[in-house]
Amino acid sequence: MNVTEFEQIFPLGEKNDAFAQYFIGQSYLKTLTAEGVFITNVTFEPGCRNNWHIHRKGGQILLCTAGYGWYQEEGKPAQALRPGDVVNIPADVKHWHGAAKESWFSHLALSVPVEGASTDWLEPVGDEVYLKLEADMKRADRSKNRMKTLGIDERAVNILFPEFAEIKNRFLYGEVWSHGSMNDRLRSLVTAAALLTVEGSDLEEQLRAALKIGVLPSELQEVFHQAAPYVGFSKAEKGLAVLAIVFQHEGISLPLDGNATVTEENRLDKGIEAQKAIFGEVIDTMRANAPDDLKFIQDYLSAYCFGDTYTRKGLDLKTRELITFTCLAALGDTTGQLKSHTAGNLAVGNGRDVLLSALNQSLPYIGFPRMLNAIAAVNEVTGLKK
């Protein structure tokens, strides 16, 4: 694509030669109005970005109109920009903005004339900063969910099948979300666990919603760590790819700070400690009674499921055990493990009401048969009749 093929609703303007020294790559500038509010259409060729700069006294607003680009303030994660995004840049804030490496990008720049206002142009945005953003986004883009791979967006499904969408939304948000004893934070974590297990198309939407209600990025990341031993690496990695897309859109830089607390030397011992904290001394008996040709499985369970996973920072033990229970329920055909982890949840303080709330929250994604099977396991462990 060249500049004549880049579609945008405002005129391209001329090459921005007057400010070329402050840009890497070619930009174009068209003044739309200089009366009252100063509005210009700025267009960046692929890979073009302006230097770090500061607007003194007067700030600036960017209205993104076409293509795909980036905005970043000093000391903060970069923010991906797409048509419809709005950026409010306060005065005296160091920042830069520009196009993605393989996409044209345009935005309107709005500013109100202020006496004494000026722009301090600073150092260029180096490749080490810029190319890392591009590499992170490419990794995320390669893992779009299956519906988008097929060229069908879930929002389009809602438009094409409005009655289905109406029933789903009425049940999910009108009934399920209003029932149960969990707070919104825990609801979001359980929902993420259920969706990543069944590879649900709503995962991206629910991860975004979780961030909006205050769930921490590190907490969301830990859901996938906790789920991996039960759903497998493949499903967890597919889910992490969706999480990366959400983080990129929200300007959250990856990788996050590490949460591991064990080493290769102590992960087995720490894992056994974590198992005993939930299930008690029966763990020693279980390990001792394992057949010789299956003892390696006991080590896997202790070192990986518990040493590498339950000992991590970011989520407390009660939340981790509830996520495990949710994943097992969503998998189906896990009656033995569900009974064990029902008992484990009770031991760490998640009562019957919490377990039933987690199943209620998972129901729209896992279906009635799996939920009812899980309820039967809970009933058996808690001494209630089916």
User: Are residues 107 and 203 both part of a single domain?
Assistant: no
Confidence at residue 132, expressed as pLDDT on a 0 to 100 scale? 81
User: Are residues 169 and 115 both part of a single domain?
Assistant: no
Confidence at residue 181, expressed as pLDDT on a 0 to 100 scale? 86
User: Are residues 205 and 336 both part of a single domain?
Assistant: yes
User: Are residues 21 and 155 both part of a single domain?
Assistant: no
Confidence at residue 136, expressed as pLDDT on a 0 to 100 scale? 66
β-strand pairing of 105-111 with 79-81: unpaired
User: Are residues 163 and 119 both part of a single domain?
Assistant: no
Q: Is the pTM of this model over 0.75?
A: no
- How many domains in the chain? 2
Question: In angstroms, how far is CA 70 from the centroid of its own chain?
Answer: 18
Residue 8 lies in a domain: no
> φ, ψ for residue 8 (rounded to 5)?
-150, 160
Are 319 and 249 spatial neighbours (Cβ–Cβ below 8 Å)?
no
Band of residue 154 on the pLDDT scale cut at 50, 70, 90: low
Residue 73 lies in a domain: yes
User: Are residues 125 and 171 both part of a single domain?
Assistant: no
pLDDT of 262 strictly over 80:
yes
User: Are residues 43 and 171 both part of a single domain?
Assistant: no
Range of the domain at 18: 14-130
Residue 242 lies in a domain: yes
What is the CATH number for 346?
1.20.1290.10
Confidence at residue 147, expressed as pLDDT on a 0 to 100 scale? 42
CA atoms within 13 A on the CB side of 205: 8
User: Are residues 224 and 338 both part of a single domain?
Assistant: yes
Tens digits of residue pLDDT in 163-202 = 998 898 889 888 898 888 899 999 999 999 999 999 998 9
Residue 137 lies in a domain: no
Residue 176 lies in a domain: yes
Tens digits of residue pLDDT in 283-316 = 999 999 999 999 999 999 999 999 999 999 999 9
Residue 111 DSSP SS3: strand
**Domain boundary residue among 65, 100, 130?**
130
Question: Exposure string (b/e) for 230-243, b if CB count within 10 Å is 16 or more?
Answer: bbeeebbebbbbbb
Distance CA 21, CA 31 (A): 19
Band of residue 144 on the pLDDT scale cut at 50, 70, 90: very low
Tally of CB atoms within 10 A around 244: 21
User: Are residues 326 and 184 both part of a single domain?
Assistant: yes
Residue 35 lies in a domain: yes
Band of residue 34 on the pLDDT scale cut at 50, 70, 90: confident
What is the CATH number for 86?
2.60.120.10
Confidence at residue 217, expressed as pLDDT on a 0 to 100 scale? 96
User: Are residues 90 and 170 both part of a single domain?
Assistant: no
β-strand pairing of 23-24 with 53-56: unpaired
The predicted model gives 3-11 an average pLDDT of 87
Residue 300 lies in a domain: no
User: Are residues 352 and 325 both part of a single domain?
Assistant: yes
**Domain boundary residue among 97, 130, 163?**
130
User: Are residues 220 and 341 both part of a single domain?
Assistant: yes
Distance CA 21, CA 373 (A): 67
Residue 208 lies in a domain: yes
**Domain boundary residue among 99, 130, 161?**
130
- Would residue 108 be called left, alpha or beta, if left means φ above 0 and alpha means ψ between -120 and 50 degrees? beta
The predicted model gives 339-365 an average pLDDT of 97
